C-alpha cells in the first residue's frame, strides 16, 4: 500500500507546505486504511547538502504577503494528520548547477 512521498531538494531549506501536504496524505491509501500506519516523507538531496540536512518545519502560505518577499511563514500547529508523517533524507548523486 503506498505510504511514501518524495520531495526533491536542491537547497538545505525548502520546507513542505503544511496544508498541501495534509491533502496529499489524506488521499493516500495507507493513511485512509489504517490509523496506525506511518507515512514516510523522503527529501531527496544531493551529496553536498546531505550531511547538514535537518528536519524541515512545515510552512503555510501567507494571506497578506504585502511587500514581504517570502510568501510563506512557519505553521503554528502541525495537525493530527502530520503527526503520522516521518521525515527521512535520501542522498542521490546528482549535481546542482547554478547559473
Domain boundaries, the chain: 4-91
Grid cell of 87 as nine digits: 521525515
Question: Please, which contacts does 55-58 make with residues 24 or more away whose CB atoms are closer than 8 Å?
Answer: 55/87, 56/13, 56/14, 56/15, 56/16, 56/87, 57/15, 58/15, 58/16, 58/17, 58/18, 58/21, 58/82
What is the C-alpha separation between 3 and 81, in angstroms, rounded? 13
Beta strand 72-74 pairing with 85-91:
unpaired
Classify 43 as helix, strand or coil.
strand
pLDDT at 64 over 90: no
Query: What per-residue confidence (pLDDT) applies to 10?
Result: 81
The three-class DSSP label of residue 10 is: coil
Q: Is the per-residue pLDDT at 66 higher than 70?
A: no
What predicted TM-score, i.e. pTM, was given to this entire model? 0.81
Give the span between the Cα atoms of 86 and 5, in whole angstroms. Answer: 10
Whether residue 36 has pLDDT greater than 90: no
Amino acid at each position: 500500500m503506498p505510504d511514501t512521498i518524495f520531495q526533491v531538494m536542491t537547497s538545505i531549506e525548502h520546507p513542505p507546505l503544511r496544508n498541501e501536504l495534509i491533502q496529499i496524505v489524506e488521499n493516500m491509501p495507507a493513511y485512509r486504511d489504517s490509523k496506525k500506519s506511518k507515512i514516510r516523507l523522503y527529501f531527496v538531496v544531493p551529496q553536498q547538502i546531505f550531511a547538514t540536512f535537518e528536519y524541515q518545519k512545515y510552512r503555510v502560505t501567507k494571506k497578506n504577503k504585502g511587500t514581504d518577499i517570502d510568501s510563506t511563514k512557519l505553521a503554528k500547529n502541525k495537525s493530527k494528520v502530520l503527526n503520522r508523517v516521518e521525515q527521512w533524507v535520501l542522498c542521490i548523486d546528482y549535481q546542482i548547477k547554478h547559473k
